[in-house]
């Protein structure tokens, strides 16, 4: 009797809890799986990690430094050269300066544009939800700024050829979102001692409140993957009204700490409409000099997996010319 009335229901209750706990709460392909029991599984384990090294293909030398950042020096520059501070993408949840895609892109950027570069590391969501990554990005800027007056620890940044009057903030996807938010923060606090002369936003992760035409053009799963990500990486935020992901709602865009901005767009990126609206708002309400570069026939961050394609090379040329004027 006891067995029937007590143990059996208990067993079912236990099994029920156990199975619902190991169920999937949400799945973002390439980024992460989150289980109902709280376990997070990252989906970038297959992406190789490359140590800082002399890159055999470009001849560019890199080294790892404090705060997990990786530095790159151009080959044989005699004059002063700009510094690019780069933030990798990966849905705020995967990637690092050592990831093959990121390291490869930085090597080719430095080789092509003849610039110094620092590839920043930051804490990843959902374990470390936003604003953790934004805070780490600010810390990187403050750390770099120490070197302007010669007090920082990093010899490569004390190289007199590093031109702190020509600093560019650049990034792709979520990294480009970080660049925008960092530039807003810098404009407000004016904390760095250097001069941010340009932002390079490649396929920035921005959303609007209502699904745009380009989002409606993809299937529901892909649309959800794009829009729901924000609420999982920034659970304390204001959803799609949050100006960190929907910056056109911000009334003070003009404080952005840069006069010129390059926004790279990809025709098949579901985010393209929001990205274009962002650039237009910066131009109209922010009084910034905004340049667009459109890649036809390609999708979100296509260049990271196809770095040697003609279209990736054209975009790299555009990024380079943006920095050479
Ligand atoms: C949560 O569920 C997943 C999937 O079944 C499992 O791999 C993981 O070990 C579980 N974690 C805990 C803490 O039980
Ligand atoms: C994202 O897309 C996959 C299919 O590729 C789907 O299984 C998953 O549920 C989607 N995630 C969300 C949050 O809609």
CB-neighbour burial class of residue 58 (10 A; exposed 0-12, middle 13-18, buried 19+)? middle
Element (H, E) at 304: helix 302-305
Which residue's CA is the nearest one to ligand 2's atom 2?
221
Q: How far is the CA of 33 from the centre of ligand 1 (A)?
A: 11
Crossing angle of helices 100-113 and 310-323, in 10° steps, is 50
Paired tokens of 225: 């993957």
Q: Please state, in angstroms and as integers, the Cα–Cα distance from residue 167 to each residue in 220, 258, 316, following that order.
A: 40, 10, 18
**pLDDT of 15:** 46
- Which residue's CA is the closest to the ligand 1 atom numbered 3? 22
DSSP codes of every residue in 199-253: EEEES-----SSPPHHHHTS-HHHHHHHHHHHHHH-TTS-GGG-TTTSGGG-TTG
From first to last of its 325 residues, the chain has per-residue pLDDT tens of 444 454 444 444 444 444 566 899 999 999 999 999 999 999 999 999 999 999 999 999 999 998 999 999 999 778 999 999 999 999 999 999 999 999 999 999 999 999 999 999 999 999 999 999 999 999 999 999 999 988 899 999 999 999 999 999 999 999 999 999 999 999 878 777 899 999 999 999 999 999 999 999 999 999 999 999 999 999 999 999 999 999 999 999 999 999 999 999 999 999 999 999 999 999 999 999 999 999 999 999 999 999 999 999 999 999 999 999 7
The answer, yes or no, to whether any atom of ligand 1 lies below 6 A from the CB of 252, is: no
Give the DSSP per-residue string, 307-325. TTSHHHHHHHHHHHHHH--
In angstroms, the CA 265 to CA 204 distance is 8
In this structure, the residue with its CA closest to atom 9 of ligand 1 is: 39
Euclidean distance between CA atoms 117 and 60, whole angstroms: 11
**24 neighbors 33 (Cβ within 8 angstroms):** yes
Is the Cβ–Cβ distance between 177 and 244 less than 8 Å? yes
Residue 310 has a pLDDT of 98
pLDDT at 188: 79
Looking at all shown ligands, the one closest to residue 231's CA atom is 2
**166 CA distance to ligand 1 centroid (A)?**
48
Please identify which residue in the block is written with the tokens 């890159």: 55
Spacing, Cα 40 to ligand 1 middle (Å): 9
The whole-number pLDDT of residue 290 equals 98
Q: Residue 16 has what pLDDT?
A: 45
């Amino acid at each position: 009797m006891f067995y029937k009335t007590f143990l059996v229901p208990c067993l079912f209750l236990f099994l029920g809890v156990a199975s619902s706990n190991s169920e999937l709460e949400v799945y973002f392909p390439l980024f992460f799986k989150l289980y109902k029991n709280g376990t997070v599984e990252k989906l970038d384990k297959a992406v190789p990690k490359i140590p800082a090294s002399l890159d055999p293909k470009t001849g560019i030398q890199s080294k790892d430094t404090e705060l997990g950042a990786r530095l790159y020096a151009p080959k044989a520059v005699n004059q002063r050269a700009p510094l690019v501070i780069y933030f990798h993408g990966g849905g705020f949840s995967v990637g690092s300066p050592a990831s093959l895609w990121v390291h490869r892109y930085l090597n080719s950027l430095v080789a092509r544009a003849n610039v110094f570069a620092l590839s920043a590391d930051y804490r990843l969501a959902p374990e470390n939800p936003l604003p953790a990554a934004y805070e780490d990005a600010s810390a990187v800027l403050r750390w770099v700024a120490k070197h302007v007056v010669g007090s920082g620890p990093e010899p490569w940044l004390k190289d007199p050829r590093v031109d702190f009057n020509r600093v560019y903030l650049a990034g792709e996807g979520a990294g480009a979102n970080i660049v925008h938010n960092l530039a807003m923060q810098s404009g407000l606090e004016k904390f760095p001692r250097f001069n941010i002369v340009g932002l390079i936003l490649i396929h920035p992760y921005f959303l609007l409140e209502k699904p745009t035409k380009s989002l409606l053009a993809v299937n529901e799963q892909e649309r959800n993957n794009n829009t729901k990500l924000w609420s999982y990486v920034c659970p304390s935020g204001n959803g799609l009204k949050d100006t960190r992901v929907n910056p056109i709602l911000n009334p003070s865009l003009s404080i952005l700490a840069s006069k010129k901005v390059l926004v790279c767009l990809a025709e098949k990126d579901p985010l393209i409409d929001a990205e274009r609206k962002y650039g237009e708002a910066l131009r109209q309400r922010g009084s910034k000099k905004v340049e667009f570069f459109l890649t036809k026939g390609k999708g979100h961050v296509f260049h990271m997996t196809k770095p040697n394609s003609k279209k990736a090379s054209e975009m790299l040329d555009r990024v380079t010319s943006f920095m050479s004027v």
